[in-house]
């Protein structure tokens, strides 16, 4: 049975500040992972918004430090830019697509990293999360 979208309207949230979980070190009262901050610590706090595209059933999360999103006008421009790019391209905004392309790791690079980890840790890879996730191994 094929999924039929009820509409093609993009949905997006307002901006949120994230101070917990993996973002806790960057909160104003966090340790910033030992990095010295030159500005007010609050300006480094992660903020984010989410855009959902029902045409592709994909959710995008845009993140920026509070230094860039504290101003209402800047937040509005960032929001409009991201929503417009997702609407026009049916894909990620151009900066996200570029970052993904730059971060992509080839199969040979993954194998080299795996070998380096095995060498440094003195251990062969036994299993991956996908093995557990898809039931390939009994744990």
Range of the structural domain that residue 122 is part of = 105-133
Domain match, 31 and 65 both:
yes
Per-residue pLDDT, 66: 97
Name which residue leads in pLDDT, 132 or 54.
54
Domain match, 86 and 36 both:
yes
Confidence grade of residue 4 (pLDDT, cut at 50, 70, 90): low
Domain match, 80 and 109 both:
no
Per-residue pLDDT, 44: 94
Domain match, 25 and 47 both:
yes
Query: Given a cut of 90, is residue 47 above it in pLDDT?
Result: yes
Per-residue pLDDT, 52: 94
Query: Given a cut of 90, is residue 49 above it in pLDDT?
Result: yes
Is 2 among the domain residues?
no
Domain match, 41 and 89 both:
yes
pLDDT tens profile 65-84: 999 999 999 999 999 999 99
Is 4 among the domain residues?
no
Number of domain units in the chain = 2
Structural element, H or E, at residue 121:
helix 107-121
- Tell me the CA end-to-end span of the chain in Å, nearest whole number: 34
Structural element, H or E, at residue 65:
strand 58-65
Domain match, 45 and 93 both:
yes
Query: Given a cut of 90, is residue 14 above it in pLDDT?
Result: yes
Domain match, 60 and 110 both:
no
Is the pTM for the entire model greater than 0.85?
no
Is 37 among the domain residues?
yes
Is 94 among the domain residues?
yes
Contact 118, 124 (CB under 8 A): yes
pLDDT tens profile 88-106: 988 888 877 888 788 788 8
Confidence grade of residue 139 (pLDDT, cut at 50, 70, 90): very low
Domain match, 110 and 66 both:
no
Q: Which two tokens stand for residue 101?
A: 């392309």
Domain match, 53 and 90 both:
yes
Domain match, 83 and 37 both:
yes
Phi, psi of 35 (to 5 degrees): -85, 135
Query: Would you call 36 helix, strand, or coil by DSSP?
Result: coil
């Amino acid at each position: 049975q094929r999924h039929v979208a009820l509409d093609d309207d993009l949905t997006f949230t307002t901006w949120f500040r994230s101070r917990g979980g993996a973002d806790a070190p960057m909160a104003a009262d966090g340790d910033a992972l030992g990095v010295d901050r030159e500005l007010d610590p609050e300006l480094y706090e992660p903020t984010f918004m989410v855009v959902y595209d029902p045409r592709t059933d994909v959710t995008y999360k845009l993140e920026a430090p509070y230094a860039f999103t504290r101003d209402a006008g800047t937040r509005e421009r960032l929001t409009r830019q991201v929503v417009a790019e997702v609407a026009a391209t049916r894909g990620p905004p151009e900066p996200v697509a570029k970052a993904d392309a730059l971060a992509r790791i080839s199969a040979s690079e993954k194998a080299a990293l795996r070998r380096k980890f095995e060498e440094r840790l003195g251990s062969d890879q036994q299993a991956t999360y996908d093995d557990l996730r898809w039931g390939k191994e009994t744990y």
